[in-house]
Amino acid sequence: MKDRFGRGINYIRVSVTDRCNFRCIYCMPEEGVLPKRCGDILRFEEIARFLKVIAPLGVSAVRITGGEPLVRKGIVDFIKMLREIPEIRDISMTTNGSLLSGIAAELKKAGLDRVNISLDSLNPEKFRRMTRGGNLKDVLDGIKAALENDLSPVKINCVVVKGFNDDEVADFARLTIDNPLTVRFIELMPVGEAAKEKMEMVSQDRITRLLGMKLESVKYEEKGEGPAAYFKIPGAKGYVGFISSISHHFCARCNRLRLTADGKLKPCLDSEDEIDVKTLLRRRAADEELRRIFIEALAKKPAGHKMNVVPFERTKRNMCQIGG
């Protein structure tokens, strides 16, 4: 299935909750966001039905997001539901990792293929400040459990914020030398709290210069495809990557749509366009009507985001309410 710009769409990000046990400074206000009522959130059976209907259109990859997906009860059974959809070949999850160590084996057995773990500091005190209360050891234990249970490739997502953690990029890159991890530096997007608090993005070019200053002998070899640019420190077990949605945006290669926890299909993270899926599901709409709404969302997918256009009009939702 292709959109009006000829991009093949085979990937959907599904947020299963807007709740999170962290309050990361660029994602959520300190007091959190007013959570949706249980009845406002799609049931796992509803999500599974929608994905089963649209998968034959070409959707082969699903990423489970939040909020923090592991705070929602029944997540293991939900993964089992997805694994029963024959067209879906890749099931992944983005998590903060703090609850992962105790459930990684169950997730793998249920059919989860791999995880991305959000981690923005390797300093316990700084980590606590950036997450407003998180325990770094819990996340490190989650990374270890992911590796032990072959939820691979295990990717570490580090959002680099000027003045907060940009002094740690070399430490993150060094993690890939002795560990089979992919560390990805992500440019901060002006969405939600990041825009409200006027936090500054650190560009890919700036991060590359910081790495060059600290890892003087490192040369990179490009690897892989997709939105991230991947490199390898010679002799390292893992990879370093960049997701540069602002300075080197990859909109021309975007292959995804998003389904929010409250049942809205979003053609683009940056767009206010939202197509209501929940109402159709709850009135037991026919499969053809659900497929039509998916195709309608494809038709509304823009050529690219406008986050680097001045003045930038912020989206109304926080990142945790969109699903990242």
Binding residues, by number, are: 13, 20, 24, 26-27, 63, 67, 94, 118, 155, 189, 251, 254, 256-258, 268
Residues 6+ apart with CB under 8 A from 174: 215
| Nearest-10 Cα torsion for 286, 287, 290, 294 | -160
Q: Which amino acid is at 21?
A: N
- Annotated binding-site positions for S-adenosyl-L-methionine: 26, 67, 118, 189
Angstrom CA distances, 304 to 5, 41, 91, 249, 271, stand at 10, 28, 26, 8, 10
- Annotated binding-site positions for GTP: 13, 63, 94, 155, 256-258
What CA–CA distance (Å, rounded) separates 306 from 249?
10
- Annotated binding-site positions for [4Fe-4S] cluster: 20, 24, 27, 251, 254, 268
Is the CA virtual torsion 100, 102, 106, 108 positive or negative? positive
Radius of gyration of the chain (CA): 19
Nearest to 160 by CA among 194, 185, 137: 185
Q: Could you write out the DSSP letters of every residue in 114-132? A: EEEEE---SSHHHHHHHHT
- Lookup: tokens for 223: 């690897």
What CA–CA distance (Å, rounded) separates 198 from 70?
30
What CA–CA distance (Å, rounded) separates 287 from 275?
16
